[in-house]
Amino acid sequence: MRKIIIAIDGFSACGKSSTAKMVANKLGFNYIDSGAMYRAVTYYFIEHYINPSNPKEVEKALDKIDISFIFNEKLGFSETYLNGSNVEGHIRKMEVTQRVSEISALPVVRRRLVDQQRKLGKKRGIVMDGRDIGTNVFPDAELKIFMVADLTVRAGRRQKELLEKDQLVGLPEIKENLKKRDKIDSEREENPLRKAKDAYEIDSSYLTLEEQVEKVLQLATEKMIIHNE
């Protein structure tokens, strides 16, 4: 069957990456977490005290950043590497989460990462999740999903995840962060978070992850049949 591109966009903690990973595994596609790339850049900026409002400093820093994904056989999915080091344990921490939308709004950062994302998707047969995949990175993706969910449900999911990594963060702080990121991500000038006209909206508030994956798989199968004809 034809190898298609599946773009999954939407707000934080709607289940984009969990769904994308499971759909990719089921279809034998590659999964690419575009948010991890923005997080890796943010982590580098924090570690190297890069001033985001100094364009020269930002350009110089970007020249030194190499992001790659390496498949972990044991886990069954790819992990993010920054200049050769596995940074999965660092990039999901609150200190990165607090800064990532500000850094992601910089046009020069977006252009670099979007170029790399397009190269990664060249052979098709991929599932990529993020904020601008269906609208900007792959406007020709055969299947576009836009995920939404209730803010309180999303915050609860994120808190549970952080607790599993021994990070105790209060619900008000998580909610505040989600609201702030939603706002910056939706209002930035360069490639804001938007639902593509041809995207299918899924509200995951009252869906289990399995139900959500099933919905995307059904749509993907339909698209693969249509595009194979």
The distance of closest approach from Cβ of residue 71 to ligand CDP in the complex, given in angstroms and rounded to an integer, is 19
Integer Cα distance of 80 and 71 in angstroms = 9
Q: Interface with ligand CDP includes 208 (CB under 6 A)?
A: yes
Interface with ligand CDP (CB under 6 A), residue from 5, 7, 24, 38: 38
Q: Interface with ligand CDP includes 142 (CB under 6 A)?
A: no
The distance of closest approach from Cβ of residue 70 to ligand CDP in the complex, given in angstroms and rounded to an integer, is 18
Interface pattern 160-189 for ligand CDP (x via CB under 6 A): -x-------------------x---x----
Q: Interface with ligand CDP includes 190 (CB under 6 A)?
A: no
Instruction: Name the residue with the smallest CB distance to ligand CDP.
Output: 35
- Segment near ligand CDP (CB under 6 A), from 22-30, 44-52, 58-66, 125-133? 125-133
Nearer to ligand CDP, 16 or 223 (CB): 16
Residue whose pair of structure tokens reads 């269906």 in the numeric block? 134
* Binding-site residues: 10-18
Count of residues that interact with ligand CDP, criterion CB under 6 A = 28
Q: Interface with ligand CDP includes 121 (CB under 6 A)?
A: no
Applying CB under 6 A, which residues contact ligand CDP? Answer: 12-18, 34-35, 38-39, 100-101, 104, 129-133, 157, 161, 181, 185, 204, 207-209, 212
